Structure 1
Amino acid sequence: MKKGFKKNIGFLHLWLGLGSGLIVFIAALTGSILVFEKEIDKAINPEYYNVTTIGTTKKTIDYCTDILQKQYSIKKITRIYTYNDPARTMQILGKDADKKAQFFSIDPYTGKVLATTPQESRFFVVVLSIHRQLLMGDFGEIITGSSCLIFAFMLISGIVLWWPKKMKNLKQRLTVKWSASFKRVNWDFHSTFGFYSFFILLLISLTGLSFAFSWFQDGVYFLADGTTKKPSAKVENPTKTDPKLNHTAFYQSIYNTADSIFPYKGNIQIRMPIDTINSILVLKEYSEKTIPNQSSAAYFDKYTAKEIEARPYESFSNGDKIRRLNYPVHTGSIYGLPTKIIAFLVSLFALTLPITGLLIWLGKKKKQKSKS
């Protein structure tokens, strides 16, 4: 490898690292927390997830939504989460008169509200907002997305800088000399563990780019499907005006139909459209699949509750299936606890990279001053 090329790579690695270090630190810290989001949230807020007594018959979904509308002044239901596990609560998101999102945990056997809180004040909602947007909205997402892109380059350039000039020195590059000076241990820790965690951190950063930038997601679809034209996740509602039908089991009929269309065990979520054009989306996840986030989709008329279209997971394009893998790969949940632990550990290591990198730079700067 030519000396000039490696020197230029080192220059970019240094200054891009210094420029993005704080954002990488924040993203790695919040990311490591989010790896065990469900486990931590269940421990802190068990009433969000579990009923106290498992009953024999569940109330209809509409019975529960009526309680929210009458007793909690909820004007619009936005999402409904139902679960196969008989011990799980039903979770509903709705907007109040001030258009603020409220989270509700409901006992499906009694219809009793076990917990309620503003959605935006939930701990992990705040952590996710920091992770993705630095609490700065779209502008913050540009910053974190750009830092993620820089981090991917830093990983690749780090491998270039780590690569030994002679293969006989490879063994030295693969170990940390713990008995050496702090300066040497710091350098070894930064570069050696950077090599070992390279592949996983690169996967995390690339899946992060898919969340941050539509152009990156278009590239994934092009590689997988040969086109950047993604199948629309939305279906236009066929009924254009509300006929004001007297529904007594609107949500329950949608749930029952979706459950029968896809005859396998799975959690079901109902997503109401956020605009005035599109229909209701229902997702049913394969709960018995090894890899999570494999869900079939069905669309329903938001006024009549009639089925419009069904899309089994097996009919999804390769690009869609890869996109569904994005979240479990990014969070480490793809193969359960073992991959979560790996994702957690490499995220903690990523948190140290800006610090150890800064110390390496300060050490070199101090050495240059002493020479002059």
Structure 2
Amino acid sequence: MKKKLKKQIGQLHLWLGLASGLILFTVALTGSLLVFEKEIDQFINPEFYNVSNVGSSKKTIDDCTAAIQKQYAIEKINRIVVYNDPKRTMTIIGKNSEGDSQIFSVDPYTGKVLGTIAQESRFFSIVLNIHRHLLLHDVGEIITGSSCLIFVFMLISGLVLWWPKKIKNLKQRLTVKWKASFKRVNWDFHSTFGFYTFIFLLIIALTGLTWSFKWFENGMYFIANGTTERPSPKVENPTKVDPLTDKTAFYQTLYQKTDSIFPYQGNIQIRMPADTINSILILKENLEFSIPNQSSAIYFDKYTGKEIEIRPYESFSKGDKLKRLIYPIHTGSIYGYPTKILAFVVCLFAITLPVTGLLIWLGKRKKKASN
């Protein structure tokens, strides 16, 4: 019975692997690039991310946005990121009259635009689009999400197939016989390193499901909170008509209020609502935490600039805090370079799995044909 079950699992492992191999190869390849996205981009485009001279005082955020809107005909500011590092440029994202998003790098000391690029044509934006959607929008997201689910099964079934019948054969399963034939080396490489990377690949795959399936995210919240209910990430704007005529220091005031309410060292991100209903969301990431992506939030009235709601990180539910951990866990950035390097190496190995698996199948076909 056990032998028959293992054979059935082996068949599922084989055919699901062949069916999803190309997608898994693509997702793993793009994922390995995204692990070091910031480092690669900053190395290639240092002038986009760093100022040449650190000044004694900075321009107001409003001066910078006004110059961009005038010079580049930007109709709407979507997002502003002000970094704690004095060497970092300010990032401003805005939309023109045609609705295209543009990313601007601004020297905060002079207000000068150091670089600009269309958000959709940025190299890593394209890589991320391939990684999540295969450039196919919602259809691509379903394909990558389904392939990720298949990969979870492949990992678990692979562990079942790897597991030796007798404990005395365990040592053999933990090593690659490099001096053997190519067929044997390929098999050992696929199964042995699959075992060593199993837990890391499983974590990456499971965290990746959060972006593909709402039911998976709801399940995560239910496990953490005992309920799928949670506060809305958006807060409706109480003021419906703009009563202000002078907004020369609007963004700067919001920035200073946020910096005062949350006095720790951190990067501040101003997010303007995409619609006419909701308020401004400002996030301040706490750089004093050892783990990244831990931010507190404040909602401001987009017309008056008054505080609507303050959500310190400490007040977040266990589910919200867990969700904040998903991105650094998935990308390997949770503990800096050691875990990034680990995630990169594991992703590189994941690229080989569809290839070595295909070679194993072709070898079996060839053997059957010759018999």
Task: For residue 114 of structure 2, give the secondary structure of its aligned residue in structure 1.
Answer: strand
User: 1:318-333 counterparts in 2 under 5 A?
Assistant: 318-333=318-333
Question: Is residue 74 of structure 1 aligned with residue 111 of structure 2?
Answer: no
Match of 1:274 in 2: 274
The 10-residue stretch of structure 1 (233-242 or 39-48) with the greater mean CA deviation from structure 2: 233-242
Match of 1:146 in 2: 146
Match of 1:31 in 2: 31
Query: What's the CA shift for 1:259?
Result: 0.7
Match of 2:199 in 1: 199
Runs of 4+ in 1 over 3 A off after TM superposition: none
Q: Is contact 1:225-1:319 (8 Å) kept?
A: yes
Task: For residue 75 of structure 1, give the secondary structure of its aligned residue in structure 2.
Answer: strand
Rounded Cα–Cα distance in structure 2 between residues aligned with 1:278 and 1:214: 22
TM-score by length of 2: 0.99
Match of 2:85 in 1: 85
User: 1:42-191 counterparts in 2 under 5 A?
Assistant: 42-191=42-191
Match of 1:342 in 2: 342
Structure 2 counterpart of 1:42, which letter? Q
Match of 1:364 in 2: 364
Rounded Cα–Cα distance in structure 2 between residues aligned with 1:272 and 1:173: 55
Match of 2:228 in 1: 228
Query: What's the CA shift for 1:212?
Result: 1.0
Task: For residue 12 of structure 1, give the secondary structure of its aligned residue in structure 2.
Answer: helix
Q: CA-atom RMSD, angstroms? A: 0.9
Rounded Cα–Cα distance in structure 2 between residues aligned with 1:170 and 1:230: 46
Task: Please give the per-residue CA displacement for 1:49-91, whole angstroms capped at 9, x wherever unaligned.
Answer: 1001000000000000000111111000000000111000000
Match of 2:211 in 1: 211
Rounded Cα–Cα distance in structure 2 between residues aligned with 1:31 and 1:198: 17
Rounded Cα–Cα distance in structure 2 between residues aligned with 1:230 and 1:364: 51
Residue identity over aligned pairs, in percent, reads 72
Rounded Cα–Cα distance in structure 2 between residues aligned with 1:167 and 1:240: 71
Query: What's the CA shift for 1:230?
Result: 2.3
Rounded Cα–Cα distance in structure 2 between residues aligned with 1:278 and 1:12: 48
Rounded Cα–Cα distance in structure 1 between residues aligned with 2:8 and 2:272: 52
Query: What's the CA shift for 1:245?
Result: 3.1
User: 1:299-310 counterparts in 2 under 5 A?
Assistant: 299-310=299-310
Rounded Cα–Cα distance in structure 2 between residues aligned with 1:91 and 1:157: 45
Match of 2:22 in 1: 22
Question: Where does structure 2 lack aligned partners over 5 or more consecutive residues?
Answer: none
Structure 2 counterpart of 1:349, which letter? F
Query: What's the CA shift for 1:284?
Result: 0.3
Structure 2 counterpart of 1:197, which letter? T
Query: What's the CA shift for 1:242?
Result: 2.6
Query: What's the CA shift for 1:244?
Result: 4.5
Match of 2:249 in 1: 249
Structure 2 counterpart of 1:273, which letter? P
Q: Is contact 1:245-1:304 (8 Å) kept?
A: no
Rounded Cα–Cα distance in structure 1 between residues aligned with 2:350 and 2:103: 33
Query: What's the CA shift for 1:246?
Result: 1.9
Rounded Cα–Cα distance in structure 1 between residues aligned with 2:336 and 2:239: 42
Rounded Cα–Cα distance in structure 2 between residues aligned with 1:195 and 1:232: 40
Structure 2 counterpart of 1:285, which letter? E
Structure 2 counterpart of 1:74, which letter? I
Structure 1 counterpart of 2:84, which letter? N
Match of 2:41 in 1: 41
Structure 1 counterpart of 2:210, which letter? S
Rounded Cα–Cα distance in structure 2 between residues aligned with 1:129 and 1:136: 9
User: 1:261-300 counterparts in 2 under 5 A?
Assistant: 261-300=261-300
Rounded Cα–Cα distance in structure 1 between residues aligned with 2:158 and 2:125: 33
Q: Is contact 1:80-1:271 (8 Å) kept?
A: yes
TM-score by length of 1: 0.99
Query: What's the CA shift for 1:241?
Result: 2.4
Rounded Cα–Cα distance in structure 1 between residues aligned with 2:50 and 2:252: 21
Match of 1:316 in 2: 316
Rounded Cα–Cα distance in structure 2 between residues aligned with 1:240 and 1:212: 35
Rounded Cα–Cα distance in structure 1 between residues aligned with 2:242 and 2:149: 45
